[in-house]
């Protein structure tokens, strides 16, 4: 299983460990809710990576980190592709809009979170998700950053809860 985020944040840049800051604490609470265990357990069974590999700097608005540019994404594309080729994950957790776009194109977050997709980008039923031919599966999650306002809407929080339920079911069934 591989979790793909946007880019390392300021805290991660300093400690060299993905999802080490406040967003990481929230993410690990979500993953525990899905049944993956505590942070140590998750770090032992989920490979954590990102679209770009360097901290892009603070957002000009002062809220959160700057979104990596298309040039920065392109410069790091080979690194992520190599990681995925080596790991050959059965499940990719696409965290945030940038990761969602990488794996599923321009699909809006509210149409992706809570659903499971196959390697070709098609939405799958739970039964279809069990087929090895559909691998890797892609399960989108919102970004856990406090700078993200997506979870401010109750219907979006319900979609997150649905996604965590799906994640729990998938991991219980296993690859």
Please report the pLDDT score of residue 81 as a whole number: 96
Give the pLDDT band of residue 140 (cuts 50, 70, 90): very high
Residue indicated by tokens 């990681």: 83
Which structural domain, as residue segments, surrounds residue 141?
2-173
pLDDT for 67: 82
- Tell me: the pLDDT tens digits for 10-55? 777 777 788 888 889 999 999 999 999 999 999 999 999 999 887 7
Retrieve residue 50's tokens.
Answer: 């990102």
Separation of alpha carbons 77 and 45, rounded Å? 24
Our count of domains for the chain comes to 1
User: For residue 90, what is the domain's CATH number?
Assistant: 3.40.470.10
Query: Which tens digits make up the pLDDT trace of 80-125?
Result: 999 999 999 999 999 999 999 999 999 999 999 999 999 889 999 9
CB-based contacts of 42, cutoff 8 Å, min separation 6: 28, 31, 32, 36
First to last CA, the chain: 9
At 42 the three-state DSSP class reads helix
pLDDT band with cut points at 50, 70 and 90 for residue 68 = confident
Strand order in the sheet with 91-95: 47-50, 2-5, 91-95, 137-141, 116-117, 123-124
Q: What is the pLDDT of residue 7?
A: 81
Strand pairing category for 123-124 and 116-117: antiparallel
> How far apart are the C-alpha atoms of 72 and 78, rounded to whole Å?
11
Distance CA 53, CA 79 (A): 8
Q: Report whether 173 contacts 88 (CB < 8 A).
A: no
Instruction: Report pLDDT for 134.
Output: 87
Residue 137 CA: distances (Å) to CA of 29, 67, 76, 96, 141: 22, 25, 22, 16, 13
């Amino acid at each position: 299983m591989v979790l793909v985020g946007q880019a390392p944040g300021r805290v991660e840049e300093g400690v060299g460990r993905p999802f080490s800051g406040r967003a990481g604490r929230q993410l690990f609470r979500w993953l525990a809710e899905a049944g993956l265990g505590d942070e140590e357990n998750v770090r032992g069974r989920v490979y954590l990576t990102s679209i770009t590999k360097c901290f892009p700097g603070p957002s000009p608005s002062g809220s959160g980190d700057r979104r990596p540019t298309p040039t920065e994404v392109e410069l790091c594309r080979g690194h992520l592709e190599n990681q995925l080729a080596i790991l050959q994950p059965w499940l990719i957790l696409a965290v945030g809009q940038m990761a969602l776009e990488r794996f599923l194109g321009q699909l809006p977050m509210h149409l992706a979170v809570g659903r499971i997709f196959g390697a070709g980008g098609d939405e799958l039923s739970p039964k279809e998700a069990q087929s090895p031919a559909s691998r890797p599966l892609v399960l989108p999650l919102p970004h856990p950053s406090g700078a993200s306002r997506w979870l401010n809407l109750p219907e979006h929080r319900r979609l997150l809860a649905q996604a965590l339920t799906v994640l729990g079911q998938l991991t219980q069934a296993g690859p």
